[in-house]
Amino acid sequence: MTSETSTGLVRFAPRRSRVVCWVAAVAVVAVFTAISTSLRGPTGDGPGVFQPGDQWAMIGLGILGGLGIMMFTRPRVEADREGIRIRNVIGGYDLPWGVVRRVRYGRGAPWATLDLHDDDVVAVMAVQAADKEYAVAAVSALRRLLAEHQAAHPDTSVSVDGG
């Protein structure tokens, strides 16, 4: 998912990992459902017997596993001339461009990062290396917005090149 409007608003979300997560989540639910249908009768040598509640519990565990996998579809990044809003798997950031030193997409890195002026580093999990050209376009758009901010506010300007 990507978009860029005339107001300079850009939005990015990973593509390949979303497809993998959806397929994996459906597969996990299907496997747990299939396992639940095999839970009938005695548990083995002991006196235990699987009940319908046990079958429903297995399906519930599959659904919980699928939901856990779907958490990895959360990453998004949205940026405009004012700042950047990042949502990662857990947590997120809403940062003005004034605190960002550069947008970095290092060789071999799984995703882009932001270097902040306080030497902190923020992961941008929405821009993933697996998306190749799409990720390069995302980083280019983010760098362009940062460069525009730094040109308008030269006192906070440091660098927009990727290291």
**Count of domains forming the chain:** 2
Tell me, yes or no, whether 46 and 82 share the same domain. no
pTM for this prediction: 0.75
Using DSSP bridges, classify how beta strands 92-96 and 76-79 pair: parallel, antiparallel or unpaired: unpaired
Tell me, yes or no, whether 88 and 126 share the same domain. yes
Domain for residue 84, yes or no? Answer: yes
Q: Is 148 or 6 the better-scoring residue by pLDDT?
A: 148
Tell me, yes or no, whether 80 and 130 share the same domain. yes
Give the span between the Cα atoms of 154 and 148, in whole angstroms. 10
Q: What does the pLDDT read at residue 7?
A: 61
- Rounded mean pLDDT of 55-64? 94
**pLDDT tens digits, one per residue of 102-155:** 999 888 899 999 999 999 999 999 999 889 899 999 999 999 999 998 888 876
Show which of 51, 72, 93 is a domain's final residue: 72
Domain for residue 47, yes or no? Answer: yes
Sign of CA dihedral 106, 158, 139, 1: positive
- Rounded mean pLDDT of 10-19? 91
Tell me, yes or no, whether 21 and 62 share the same domain. yes
Q: Which 3 state secondary structure label does DSSP give 25?
A: helix
Tell me, yes or no, whether 149 and 88 share the same domain. yes
69: left (phi over 0), alpha (psi -120 to 50) or beta: alpha
The residue segments making up the domain with residue 68 are 16-72
Tell me, yes or no, whether 101 and 136 share the same domain. yes
Tell me, yes or no, whether 59 and 128 share the same domain. no
Q: What is the CATH number of the domain that holds 143?
A: 2.30.29
Q: What does the pLDDT read at residue 59?
A: 94
Longest CA span, the chain: 77
**pLDDT tens digits, one per residue of 79-98:** 999 999 999 999 999 999 99
Tell me: pLDDT of 4 over 80.
no
Tell me: pLDDT of 160 over 70.
no
Amino acid identity, position 71: M
**pLDDT tens digits, one per residue of 18-47:** 999 999 999 999 999 998 888 776 666 666
Query: How is the beta sheet containing 121-128 ordered, strand by strand?
Result: 100-104, 111-116, 121-128
